[in-house]
Chain A
Amino acid sequence: AQSVTQLDSHVSVSEGTPVLLRCNYSSSYSPSLFWYVQHPNKGLQLLLKYTSAATLVKGINGFEAEFKKSETSFHLTKPSAHMSDAAEYFCVVRTEENRDDKIIFGKGTRLHILP
């Protein structure tokens, strides 16, 4: 069975400081992993994805994530937060088991940026 756990429901950081949003996953098969961002009243936007290539993945808006198989983690980071980064972030795991494509979203982490 597969699952995804976002360890923090809320994270607050000051503008200009680093961001760390944590995600752990469980999967019986080699997963694909994604981070999406959801701004209020806007659709989900793909930030980045890992699909068994390089373990350090760079995404849009300065975000990146590192796939660590030994820790079953896929944490999202950004060196310097901007006010526009305030949003809800979702970690997503996708696996294909017996031709059954399963996509599981985490419960989300709301990122607050303090001025």
Chain B
Amino acid sequence: GAGVSQSPRYKVAKRGQDVALRCDPISGHVSLFWYQQALGQGPEFLTYFQNEAQLDKSGLPSDRFFAERPEGSVSTLKIQRTQQEDSAVYLCASSLATGRELFFGSGTQLSVL
């Protein structure tokens, strides 16, 4: 596609519910990143894939967060047993190669009630 596509655009979840956020990167982009952006803050790194390999998951805040990219293209970020502090915009970004500029999707705004 022309850009990074994320779905859903908005997600409202009840506390304790599991959610899955989808990211479709730019075709041919090897690297894929997930970022979390809280209100009034900059994006904070969650995890990074190179093709299907998850090379860095040091930013995932707890074991309730899980990301996968099984075929090296589409990625899913899953949050289990959501809590109110998980409310944020989740941004996906891809890049052609490691270290190059990131191209971001519009994000998924998650609200946990």
- A and B pair up: no
